[in-house]
Amino acid sequence: MESTRAAFPTFIGKTIFFSRWLQAPLYLGLIIAQLVYVVQFMRELVTLVSDVASDLLHGTHHMAEADIMLVVLGLVDVVMVANLLIMVIVGGYETFVSRIDLDRHPDQPEWLSHVNANVLKVKLAMSIVGISSIHLLKTFIDAGQYTEKELLWQTIIHLTFVVSAIALAWIDRLMIRPGHDVPAV
């Protein structure tokens, strides 16, 4: 009877630990989302190149410099979101599901060797600030299309992301105590 009592908590613990694998399909889904972003990037790039080529061939200037800049910023935005996806996919899987055995692969990202939940949160927050910065820059380049209230709210939201990222980084730094290599989760 005593061995049955001891076996039940062990079974429950192993079941809970195994449940981390339920996240694996989520990371595979994010890989599909990454593919969608690649398609979107290529679509926007082809449109930009064909519009500029058309202007060159016909000697017209349908695309103003600001228009080209907005499209390029859109491309940068897609790349930054794709980078965010990679951090979530690789870092999240490594942190919460299972180690990725790369056997010191030469292309292994440097940050992967010391990723944990707190480091991942700070990196994600900084990526969101970068993405928000691109959106805000696009808004200011095309400011005539927005009301003052919309511009103000976009700026406030961006500053909220900045303050949140700084707060996360500060909290992460506070959690690292002398003699402890890894912050608490």
Whole-number pLDDT of residue 111: 67
Burial class (CB in 10 A: 0-12, 13-18, 19+), 148: exposed
Q: What are the boundaries of each domain within the chain?
A: 1-85, 116-185
Residue position matching structure tokens 């930009």: 48
Whole-number pLDDT of residue 173: 82
Tens of pLDDT along the chain (185 residues)? Answer: 556 677 888 889 899 999 999 999 999 999 999 999 999 999 999 999 998 998 888 888 777 888 888 899 989 989 988 988 988 898 888 888 988 877 777 877 776 666 777 777 888 888 899 999 998 998 988 888 999 999 999 999 999 999 999 998 888 888 775 555 554 44
Q: Considering only CA atoms, which of 139, 134, 126 is closest in space to residue 79?
A: 134
Whole-number pLDDT of residue 185: 45
User: Which residue pairs from 31-37 have beta carbons closer than 8 angstroms and sit at least 24 positions apart in sequence?
Assistant: 31/89, 33/85, 34/82, 34/85, 34/86, 34/89, 37/78, 37/81, 37/82, 37/85
Contact 37, 81 (CB under 8 A): yes
Round to whole Å and give the CA distance between 77 and 169.
Answer: 23
Q: Give whole-number Cα distances, 52 to 32, 55, 63, 104, in Å.
A: 31, 5, 7, 43
Intra-chain end-to-end CA distance of the chain, in Å = 37
- Give the type of residue at 63: M
Whole-number pLDDT of residue 184: 47
